[in-house]
Structure 1
């Protein structure tokens, strides 16, 4: 009676279990199993009991049979099965021995891994696509390069292109926002290390008490709060690539000593580590501070300064390269319009105010302002009133704004009475003379109108002559 109840209980446990359980005897005959489980192998609920796993293996229903493998190897086995129904099954089999060490039963467990494998494959496909997109973005960045027009910036770009292939340390100097980070990226992208990591560290944003662990990393359990697996430091992450230390003037003196040692010996050790690791990276740094003055005041080590000051490149502020302002305005307007699928444009007086502005935040301020104006202004034209008060040198009252709009409408009304060539000439005259009132130089006019400077000079002579002739009639 007890044996009958035990067998009934065992069957009940197997049939109601979330795991698919199969029990075979020492000959590989299936004694008990979950009925629903066999549907993944293409068998009905009543077609498995009493069958031999060896026979099912020969019929390629079980490919292979986990129970047969356990019986052959006489030890626990784990395998992946691929069924005729297209399923992927993870199975584990365990032998049950009697007192004499003879196998009397094999118990196996099976889990359908098909959905998990499918999701894993999708994830891997997405990962490959992402890597492809990242490669394309990097390629576009390389082709796009640095945007400039001035002779000073051309000289800096030429120097970067000359030294990119070497491993010489480059120090970028200049005010915040002039584009030091952009130049550092350009240097890396043109170097032999371009396929390796570019690790950017802003020295002013890491607290001094965390600096060493962030830069050098730490071994597991090296201090309270350390992760169980330890952590790779930023220097280690830059191995074979470029380490860009921005705001290097903010580097604590204690860290300056350790950085100098790494640069000299090309070795470092994690916090709590016992073995030094060799490291290979190119160092690029940047600062808006005067490092020589800091050396004199004892705030920056002289030996480290000499290490960093191999190729110093000073990037002038935007106010000292006026010729570049119109070009950058147009560049960022086009870029941000394309990004947000808009078609915003600047009113001539807005353009004039932007060119006259000193840009204390340099290129970063200009880019951020263009994005803000395109996203926050109503209508397609950005008027001076849309500018921040610090920039708005030519505010337009609502009356004047309406008048300007009305004047433009009147001019186009006049075109109705002209043939095509005359109408085109009339519009061209209006744009040339309006640009002459807005811009200070013919080069600025050329940037505004999107034509060459010689064309501007030629058209100015033409239309100013026409106006002079009309006034003397």
Structure 2
């Protein structure tokens, strides 16, 4: 008769190393494999606390006793090798009676796993993915030893895989395979690092990034290094620089096309300043910009510039609506801008009226002389600019209107804001894009072109053939044109229509006051020829200008528009020079 295998035999002869602990964590049983794998002695360690005997088990056992739940696959560093720990709690009659701790060598588990078909398939897939990458990829362990690298890394570094696997990167660094290693920097810092490497063998510059992967204990388990050939990036950089040069070339060509486009507009621009204004205007038009503020003295062509912007924008097929904010009283201006509902006031149209905002829907609304807009309407305009909604006078319905708003003024809006005559929030809302047209006296190179343009225009219109010789042209170039382009246009039309002679030179001189330019006459009239004090002379000229302007205009507001200054400034100067 043979003796039957009992539980003690199974416990002792199993391939797994087993240690049984009681509810206090003390060792109660140890099998034969455990004494070998863990260097335990039954006589010396029985009834001793397992976490004290094997210090590397303190953390997992502490976690186990905190909740008495099963632990599976916990990796620990044993006395001889890396181990995988499983802890299973034992309950008797629902009371905790201890636990069974089972240990296996990680190496044996990995060898077994590698023999499975699923592991082989996954491993092949990973190898193919890594090898198909155009970037170089290294994998090192927590000590810096090379585990694997792909074919791209072999080509970039000029090395063979079987010559470096198992070697430490420090050894490769000492043998000058590369000038510096990102792996050693990751091991030092514990963080992701990026460096530039030079590979002497292949004469390549590589951008290398090392990324650490951590185990359960927070230690670096793996370092994955990604490296890219900077030679390719240098090529891209050169291509980019070349594309930038081509872009600049196209930009110059587009600029030339823009100048040709300017020639098709009725605005004459030969001076650099005016060309710059028109080019900026065309850019804003093509971008579909709104809230454009045009500044300039009276007669410089603000209305014409606004029409040019509209004409060259995507809104050109929709209405261009213009209104002079200084031409109407407050009540009528509000009605014109926002419209009114039927029965809004006595005398109102029984059907109501559509305002200019609604008329300009999809197009452009040009608000000339915005500086003269009453404060109440400034608030309503600001509300529209914020939400693009209007409400008719006497109505409750809200209308959504989409139109580009261009405003213009010859006044100093910033000064008006200080004087509480213009809303500060509206000022900053309107001046998203500012176009400041210089006065004609500051762009004399445009005068001759403007004269020729209007001379040809009015000769055609009135079926005439008037001409201006070079001496008269020179005379006009010296004239100050206080009324700017509007005055020049009026002068040319006047001489074409009123003078019966084909040569208008004498008529031009006569209409402007003799053989000297008008501003010279003004200077001689206002200043003593023996007085060379600049301040005194300027004051006298200023006084003479005010006296002359007051004779031509009846209100200080009209004088301000003509002189290109604010109405309060006119009042102050009239009082300063005691001009009644």
TM-score by length of 1: 0.52
Summarize the alignment of residues 400-419 of structure 1 with structure 2, pairs less than 5 Å apart: none
Q: CA RMSD in A?
A: 1.9
**Matching residue within 422, 431, 456 for 1:300:** 422
Measured in 2, the distance between the counterparts of 1:168 and 1:296 equals: 25
TM-fit CA distance, 1:237: 0.8
* 1:333–1:370 CA contact under 8 A, matched in 2: yes
* 1:240–1:281 CA contact under 8 A, matched in 2: yes
TM-fit CA distance, 1:226: 0.2
**Matching residue within 257, 269, 286 for 2:391:** 269
* 2:262–2:278 CA contact under 8 A, matched in 1: no
Match of 1:228 in 2: 350
CA offsets per residue over residues 299-343 of structure 1, 9 Å max, x none?
A: 110110011000111110000111111121111111111121210
TM-fit CA distance, 1:247: 0.4
2:282 is the counterpart of 1:161: yes
CA offsets per residue over residues 177-223 of structure 1, 9 Å max, x none?
A: 01111110010001010000000110010111212111111111111
Summarize the alignment of residues 74-89 of structure 1 with structure 2, pairs less than 5 Å apart: none
Summarize the alignment of residues 209-248 of structure 1 with structure 2, pairs less than 5 Å apart: 209-248=331-370
Measured in 1, the distance between the counterparts of 2:495 and 2:399 equals: 50
Match of 1:283 in 2: 405
Match of 1:454 in 2: none
Structure 1 pair 217/196, CA: closer, same or farther in 2 (3 Å)? Answer: same
* 2:499–2:507 CA contact under 8 A, matched in 1: no
Measured in 1, the distance between the counterparts of 2:477 and 2:304 equals: 22
CA offsets per residue over residues 25-68 of structure 1, 9 Å max, x none?
A: xxxxxxxxxxxxxxxxxxxxxxxxxxxxxxxxxxxxxxxxxxxx
Measured in 2, the distance between the counterparts of 1:345 and 1:142 equals: 23
* 1:193–1:242 CA contact under 8 A, matched in 2: yes
CA offsets per residue over residues 241-270 of structure 1, 9 Å max, x none?
A: 100000000000000001101111111111
Structure 1 pair 388/222, CA: closer, same or farther in 2 (3 Å)? Answer: farther
SS in 1 for 2:477: helix
Match of 2:446 in 1: 324
Structure 1 pair 394/383, CA: closer, same or farther in 2 (3 Å)? Answer: farther
SS in 2 for 1:164: helix
Structure 1 pair 388/177, CA: closer, same or farther in 2 (3 Å)? Answer: farther
SS in 2 for 1:367: helix
2:478 is the counterpart of 1:351: no
Match of 1:367 in 2: 489
2:310 is the counterpart of 1:188: yes
Measured in 2, the distance between the counterparts of 1:257 and 1:245 equals: 15
Measured in 1, the distance between the counterparts of 2:352 and 2:453 equals: 45
Match of 2:178 in 1: none
2:324 is the counterpart of 1:202: yes
TM-score by length of 2: 0.43
SS in 2 for 1:284: strand
2:270 is the counterpart of 1:149: yes
Measured in 1, the distance between the counterparts of 2:374 and 2:338 equals: 14
5+ residue gaps in structure 2? 1-260, 518-580
TM-fit CA distance, 1:145: 4.2
SS in 2 for 1:381: coil
* 2:320–2:360 CA contact under 8 A, matched in 1: yes
TM-fit CA distance, 1:228: 1.1
Measured in 2, the distance between the counterparts of 1:181 and 1:164 equals: 15
Match of 1:20 in 2: none
SS in 2 for 1:162: helix
Measured in 2, the distance between the counterparts of 1:360 and 1:255 equals: 31
TM-fit CA distance, 1:375: 0.4
Measured in 1, the distance between the counterparts of 2:273 and 2:264 equals: 21
* 1:349–1:384 CA contact under 8 A, matched in 2: no
**Matching residue within 437, 451, 454 for 1:315:** 437
* 2:339–2:354 CA contact under 8 A, matched in 1: yes
TM-fit CA distance, 1:385: 4.1
**Matching residue within 505, 521, 533 for 1:383:** 505
Match of 1:460 in 2: none
Measured in 2, the distance between the counterparts of 1:344 and 1:316 equals: 29
Aligned residues: 256
Structure 1 pair 295/366, CA: closer, same or farther in 2 (3 Å)? Answer: same
* 1:171–1:284 CA contact under 8 A, matched in 2: yes
SS in 1 for 2:293: strand
Structure with more contact order per residue of length (Cα contacts < 8 Å, sep ≥ 6): 1
Measured in 2, the distance between the counterparts of 1:372 and 1:389 equals: 9
Measured in 2, the distance between the counterparts of 1:185 and 1:385 equals: 33
* 1:353–1:391 CA contact under 8 A, matched in 2: no
Structure 1 pair 388/247, CA: closer, same or farther in 2 (3 Å)? Answer: farther
Structure 1 pair 367/260, CA: closer, same or farther in 2 (3 Å)? Answer: same
* 1:142–1:189 CA contact under 8 A, matched in 2: no
Larger Rg: 2
Measured in 1, the distance between the counterparts of 2:464 and 2:492 equals: 13
Measured in 1, the distance between the counterparts of 2:289 and 2:436 equals: 19
CA offsets per residue over residues 276-321 of structure 1, 9 Å max, x none?
A: 1111000001000000111111111011001100011111000011
SS in 1 for 2:264: helix
5+ residue gaps in structure 1? 1-139, 396-473
2:362 is the counterpart of 1:249: no
Measured in 1, the distance between the counterparts of 2:263 and 2:375 equals: 36
